[in-house]
Amino acid sequence: MNKPLLPRIAVNGVEIPPAAIAAEAQNHAAPKGKPGLAWMAAARALVLRQLMLDEAQRRGLTADPQEVAPGQFETDEEALLRAVIDEAVTVIAPSEDEVRALWLAEPDRFRSAPLWSASHILLTGEGAAERAALVATDLAAKPAAFANTAREISQCPSAANAGNLGQLTPGQTVPPFEAALRQLKEGEITAQPVETQFGWHVIRLDAHAPGRPLPFETVAPRIREAMEKKHWVEAMHAFAQRLLDAADVEGISLQPAAA
């Protein structure tokens, strides 16, 4: 008799059907060529799901599906999972002192965004890289020529304004452009052109206003929310681990923890 390709997975005597694991595996990433890792992650997730449903039954909870989108309601199982988590996972809100302590301990996390004023010369098409390199070399010797050069050859609409892009904040430009801005000093021009999906840029940083520390009153709600989320995740992990530790699981290792 041939040995089954996949082991039987059961929790407290209840088998998790292979078809259910295969369907759940679509929600779990795995390295190319190693679909078994996704299958095992799916099996762990379904084991935990079954344990949570069993816990909901043990606690005498009933399904009360809620509307999660216009005209779309939870399934009974989803409602039970939410109910058991709501009852079993409690989080104590951080105190004012705890929130303030985090603000004081990590001041660089709570700053306003930096502000840049920048200009650029954009070259596109065949030979753009070589032409941009020549422009960067010429401007290194004659930086005062930047505005005229931008007006004459830049292939960006900003050429009409001597290449000036105005004020920029993080996220307003593509990553390579922003990375270059972060390396420049005021008045400095990139020594080498910067490539983006738009072409090749020679960039000048005209002005820079670094982010400033934000007052406690401004960031306290955001810090409090982040701390509550972190505590919830920790409490959820602990709840899941308690269920797993008390369960009789066949056919699968529960490490790493399914939570």
Domain coordinates in residue numbering, the chain? 10-89+228-250, 115-209
- Angle ∠(248,252,258) on CA atoms, nearest 5: 85
Given a contact cutoff of 8 angstroms between Cβ atoms, the answer to whether 22 and 41 are in contact is no
114-133 pLDDT, tens digit each: 999 999 999 999 999 999 99
pTM passes above 0.85: no
- pLDDT tier at 149 (50, 70, 90 boundaries)? very high
- Which CATH fold topology does 115-209 show? Chitinase A; domain 3 (3.10.50)
> Rounded to whole angstroms, how far apart are CA atoms 102 and 84?
31
> Rounded to whole angstroms, how far apart are CA atoms 64 and 76?
7
Q: Mean pLDDT across the stretch 178-187?
A: 96
Residue 247: pLDDT over 60: yes
Q: Give the per-residue pLDDT at 5.
A: 57
